Amino acid sequence: MNWIVQFLTWLRLLFAGWIDPPYKTIVVQALLPEKLKNKAIYIVEEDGFEEQAAMLCPRCRDHILHMNLLPDERPCWTIICHDDGTASLHPSVWRKKDCGVHFWFRRGRVFWT
């Protein structure tokens, strides 16, 4: 019986990215708001340049993940804003400290690795 529960949990994690509603993409100018919304990715723009993407950690939701979008600084991510209002990040997001979260962010959805 235990293997059935494990299998169903594995299936839920595998397909969670397609079942859950996508994250909202919110573009802000210069500064992040003091309190970030859950299930939202923020793109911070200044002087017409995308500087960073930020979101609440999808696992523990008690800290903010910041992804640099400026190509002359490392590490660096690229973000694609899709016509349907969702966004994708490349490469994956991997926080090696704290909760150790590691995921791909595609079309507004989190896909765990």
Q: For residue 19, give the DSSP letter.
A: H
| pLDDT tens-place string over residues 27-58 | 999 899 999 999 999 999 999 899 999 999 99
Q: Model-level pTM?
A: 0.81
- Across 3-48, the runs of DSSP E, i.e. the strands, are 24-29, 40-46
Neighbouring CB atoms inside 10 A of 34's CB total 5
Are 113 and 103 within 8 A, CB to CB? yes
65 Cβ neighbours under 8 A, 6+ residues apart? 54, 55, 56, 57, 93, 95, 101
Domain boundaries, the chain: 2-112
How many residues does this entry show for the chain? Answer: 113
